[in-house]
Amino acid sequence: MTKVKFLSGEFVPMEMHKVRMVQKVNLKPVEDRLRAMDEAGYNTFLLKNRDIYLDMLTDSGVNAMSDNQYAAMLQADDSYAGSETYYRLEKTLQDMFDVKYFLPAHQGRAAENIISQIMVREGSTVLMNYHFTTSKAHIGLRGGAVEEIIIDEGLVITSDHPFKGNMDIGKLEEAIARLGRENIAYVRLEAGTNLIGGQPISMENMRTVSRICREHGIPTVFDASLLADNLYFIKTREAEFADKDLREVTREMGRLMDVTYFSGRKLGFARGGGILTSDETLFHKMRELIPLYEGFLTYGGMSVREMEAMSVGMEETLDLDVISQTPIFVEAFTEELQAKGVPVVTPPGGLGCHVDASAFCDHLPQEQYPAGALAAALFIASGVRAMERGTMSEERRPDGTEPLAEMELVRLALPRRVFTLSQVKYAADRLAWLYQNRELIGGLTFVEEPSVLRFFFGRLGATSDWPETLAKAFRRDFGDSL
């Protein structure tokens, strides 16, 4: 992706790919969208694809694959043990991250399970720039605690800080002194920090964190799931790397961290996951769990076809033309919304555009899930499926009380190479309409609340008949239009 100058002087994002296979999508009338949202218990995870126009729930497992990935799939070497496909993937990843060992896992959270089982002790703490839902849940299941030491700017919604995902070095040193290194299971750095708006971490920050942790003998764990976007930001926002090859950047990251893991549903344009390390002891310990939870060591729950696609996809991740598509679209999306006055997280990050639901729905208390309500309202108004990233996505404390999220965000993910600019403009337009009518959005309350990761399949109800009122207002303003 690159931006080219038009006659008007405007710089317009240009796709550096062409579409050679398409999938039909449906844009249903607002009454049908209202019914579908109601049937889904006002939880966008429970919607059915057939009712959705643009699926911006996530980039996980839904990135478009390239011709070369499909071609590689045909060459997959099908075998339970010792498949050539596995060795190709292993070599690709060892080269990419400059590490000795690779362990396959069926997806990112499976890698988190293995890492937590081996590295988290009851009562220990994991320090991290910011948590991700599944990473925190796995650490909690092992009796560990999570402490987030993101820079203060990371939680400021509107900012121009280029690396809001950075860890606060002062807080890191303070936490090590306070907790004692023996009580710190590891320090986890997440690339493209998901829950604060896909915000990147700088190489300089990674280097400093790694140095301090090594001085204290504390292991470091790198969640590279959103590495593609993060690489783009390092290349474009960190002067030292402007002319550096992305492979060199990635290899340095691999050397800085003791363990790297990833969701292959995000990184590598396929589906799967894995763990990388050069630490022989950790490798041997973690390896024992792979056949128990994932599958034999040469597939780890992944199909050989996906592994072939992933090998090619990892190489594509090192191509700036390929990885810039999402961040440049996110930037265009964010600027479009800002121009319409809609409150959004800035600077634009990777992964997707993040709307600030606290400001959007400032009439709703956090206990009524403003981000969840906005995601439901957006679906009714547009058929666009987004994801709540706020209090609904938090786990209850052991005493049953509900922590309120630090940010109430609605994430409109842009799966890589999937949507066109006109589709992005449509989503922005409907959000702008919703913003003008924001007082019509009411609250939500749980009707069925699972005890773990409740946001996935919990069911909610509207606190009034606001969804019907919203649908009527849509009809009033848009007439017969979908």
Catalytic residues: 80, 132-133, 223, 266, 389, 455
Please tell me whether residue 44 binds ligand F0G under the rule CB under 6 A.
Answer: no
Question: Residues near 442 by Cβ (< 8 Å), separated by ≥ 6?
Answer: 364, 368, 373, 462, 463, 464, 466, 467
Please tell me whether residue 108 binds ligand F0G under the rule CB under 6 A.
Answer: yes
- 359's enclosing H/E stretch is helix 357-360
Report in angstroms how near the CB of residue 256 gets to ligand F0G at its nearest.
18
Interacting residue with ligand F0G among 132, 333, 360, 466 (CB under 6 A): 132
Distance CA 79, CA 83 (A): 5
Report in angstroms how near the CB of residue 273 gets to ligand F0G at its nearest.
5
Q: Could you tell me the two tokens for 121?
A: 């002790």
Distance CA 353, CA 374 (A): 14
Please tell me whether residue 366 binds ligand F0G under the rule CB under 6 A.
Answer: no
Please tell me whether residue 225 binds ligand F0G under the rule CB under 6 A.
Answer: yes
Please tell me whether residue 226 binds ligand F0G under the rule CB under 6 A.
Answer: yes
Among candidates 44, 64, 61, which has minimal Cα distance to 53? 44
Please tell me whether residue 116 binds ligand F0G under the rule CB under 6 A.
Answer: no
The DSSP call for residue 278 is S
| Amino acid (one-letter) located at 196 | I
Distance CA 200, CA 320 (A): 16
Tell me how many residues contact ligand F0G (CB under 6 A): 17
Q: Could you tell me the two tokens for 129?
A: 């720039």
Range in contact with ligand F0G (rule: CB under 6 A) among 94-102, 223-231, 322-330, 460-468: 223-231
Please tell me whether residue 303 binds ligand F0G under the rule CB under 6 A.
Answer: no
Please tell me whether residue 454 binds ligand F0G under the rule CB under 6 A.
Answer: no
SS3 25: coil
Please tell me whether residue 277 binds ligand F0G under the rule CB under 6 A.
Answer: no
Question: Residues near 171 by Cβ (< 8 Å), separated by ≥ 6?
Answer: 149
SS3 262: strand
Strands 352-356 and 409-413 come out as antiparallel
Which residue has its beta carbon closest to ligand F0G? Answer: 108
CB-nearer residue toward ligand F0G: 142 or 368: 142
Interacting residue with ligand F0G among 198, 268, 273, 383 (CB under 6 A): 273
> Pattern 394-433, binding to ligand F0G, x per CB under 6 A?
----------------------------------------
Interacting residue with ligand F0G among 33, 109, 136, 305 (CB under 6 A): 109
> Pattern 189-208, binding to ligand F0G, x per CB under 6 A?
-x---x--------------
Interacting residue with ligand F0G among 79, 94, 117, 134 (CB under 6 A): 134
SS3 409: strand
What is the distance, to the nearest Å, from the Cα of residue 395 to the centroid of all Cα atoms in its chain?
Answer: 18
SS (H, E, C) 299-319: CCCCCHHHHHHHHHHHHHCCC
Please tell me whether residue 230 binds ligand F0G under the rule CB under 6 A.
Answer: no
Q: Could you tell me the two tokens for 424?
A: 């992005």
Report the side by side order of strands in the sheet with 409-413.
352-356, 409-413, 387-389
Please tell me whether residue 60 binds ligand F0G under the rule CB under 6 A.
Answer: yes
Residues within the interface to ligand F0G (CB under 6 A): 58, 60, 107-109, 132, 134-135, 190, 194, 223, 225-226, 263, 265-266, 273
